[in-house]
Structure 1
Amino acid sequence: MARTPIFLEKRGYRRRRMMDAVRLLPFLGLMLWMVPLLWPVPEILPDATSETPEPAIAMSVALRYLFGVWALLILATWALWRRTRDVASGDGTENTDGQH
């Protein structure tokens, strides 16, 4: 039997991918906010066995990073909101029978 290709409407596919991006954004933000936890921390008491201490990241750099991630999340949320709003308003005739 010949299999027919599955046809996905371009507009519906884009709308689903945009909603996937909206759902993924909080997790991406959480992962980016946890990156400073991986940065080296200055040692309060120097260890006698360590010859070269790891350089510590300054608090100002960490705060700028967190603020930058926060600002990028706001911009990404706004951009995704605009895209999903435009895509959703462009197809008012689709799914009029209540089915998904």
Structure 2
Amino acid sequence: MPCQRIGMLLGAIGGENQIKALHLADLDVALCGETVEWQAGEYVRDAIATGQKKALIILGHATSEEAGMQYLVEWLQPKVDDVKITFIPAGDPVQII
């Protein structure tokens, strides 16, 4: 599916906000941290069933925010010289066994 409009809805903004973004911003794809499966997931499923080109990519909450938190250390450290700021990766909380 060719994509022209991709929205980054990271963390946990909620299923209703994801639906609004998909609809009002006319997104082809919503890249999200986590979702409410019975809201945004069903909205996308219904949209596809009616011929709309919509997709939802779910990264996981912590995974979707990790790069931003890593950057925050670089941004914040010069502002508070006397405090050491360290990035500690959360990693993916989901393990496949």
TM-score (norm 2): 0.32
Query: Higher helix fraction: Structure 1 or Structure 2?
Result: 1
Query: Higher strand fraction: Structure 1 or Structure 2?
Result: 2
Tell which has more relative contact order, 1 or 2 (C-alpha 8 A, sep 6+): 1
